[in-house]
Amino acid sequence: MTVLVTGASGLLGSVVARVLVDRGEQVRTLQRRPSGVAGAVDVAGSVTDPDVVARAVEGVDGVVHLAAKVSLAGDPADFDAVNVGGTSTVLDAARHAGVPRFVQVSSPSVAHAGSSLVGVGAEPADPTRAHGDYARTKGLAELLALAADDGSAGTDVVAVRPHLVWGPGDTQLVERVVDRAARGRLPLLGHGAALVDSTYVDNAADGIVAALDRLRDAPDVVRGRAYVLTNGEPRTVADLMAGICGAAGVPAPAWRVPAGLARAAGSVVEAVWRVRPGTDEPPMTRFLAEQLSTAHWFDQRATRADLGWTPAVSIDEGMERLAAYYADRTR
């Protein structure tokens, strides 16, 4: 297969591209800076540029669309432009070029309205109830992508929602946890007892590639559907944070903030950030407070059966790999 991977300069996108290269696929990537993936052919540009996207999809057999604006704050128009507009542009170009397979990489946040998610599957995306512009626009993008699979002989689409992806080199979750813990600025919300799923990055990449393969080998099983992808090993927030901090050699969170107070504070910070945005991510948002204080773990039976996939790296083994990564950085 010839496969286009968008957003391959990010951690998950780069691992997906490497998995495909390593098994002998012809891989093309599309993002604004070099992917750094040996063996892949980079196309420089934005998913919002129709001309660049049209060149990128020409002659490919499948698209894995990961490119997105991922942030806790920012101009809502930017989220709409990249996450919704970019998805529309890539999807339209793929369909026009006759690309048979399209994997939309989404997020479980598209179906999270703030309350706990306990043992559920991939519930329908609901942008009207999603909290935060990232979740809202990813929900809109997923609905747009799945609606494009109209049952005709055109482009088959599946949506995959990896949950809390982490691993060596991760700047979205791991580095922020480590940085804040090292500065003594990482509290637990409530007692840190909320049970959450997470996904080691290699498992997430393998699951995404499995979805692409199933669109080729058994399209009627997966097309038009969404799947949440996790390690299937729920841990408490406190345990997960302690594991990451231990791997990096920084103190685990030792102080607590009531969850309700954190949510209220997050709402205030969001309001201030809209008026006077900082140079980094806000220290707290309501969405982040909800994610750290409510349970969200998922039934993986349909995901594993339909995708023909099981995670190869356990949480404990992933933590060992993370510890080795940090040990190498200090040498």
Q: Which residues contact 233 (CB under 8 A, 6 or more apart)?
A: 197, 198, 314, 315
Percent of the chain with pLDDT over 90: 69
Question: How many separate domains does the chain show?
Answer: 1
Structural tokens at position 19: 């998995």
**CA 316/CA 323 separation, integer angstroms:** 11
Query: What's the domain range around 155?
Result: 2-237+291-329
- Supply the pLDDT for residue 185: 81
Check: CB of residue 163 under 8 Å from CB of residue 291: no
| More confident site: 184 or 203 | 203
Q: Which of 40-44, 168-172, 208-212, 262-266 has the lowest mean pLDDT?
A: 262-266
Judge whether residue 202 has pLDDT over 80: yes
| Mean pLDDT for the stretch of residues 70-83 | 88
pLDDT of residue 78: 93
pLDDT on residue 135: 92
Among 120, 104, 215, smallest CA distance to 162 is for 104
CATH code where residue 131 lies: 3.40.50.720
Q: pLDDT band at 316, cuts 50/70/90?
A: very high
Would residue 267 count as lying in a domain? no
At residue 109, does pLDDT exceed 80? yes
With residue 226 as reference, give the H or E element that holds it: strand 226-229
H or E, element range at 196: strand 195-196
**For residue 294, how many other CB atoms are within 10 A of its CB?**
21
Give first-to-last CA distance, the chain, whole Å.
Answer: 40
Per-residue pLDDT tens digits for 216-250: 999 999 999 999 999 999 999 999 999 999 999 99
Phi, psi of 178, rounded to the nearest 5 degrees? -65, -45
pLDDT, mean of residues 161-185: 90
Of the candidates 134, 227, 325, 326, the residue annotated as catalytic is 134
Angle between helices 237-248 and 315-329 (to 10 degrees): 30
DSSP H helix total and E strand total for the chain: 13, 15
Catalytic site residue 326? no
Is 280 domain-assigned? Answer: no
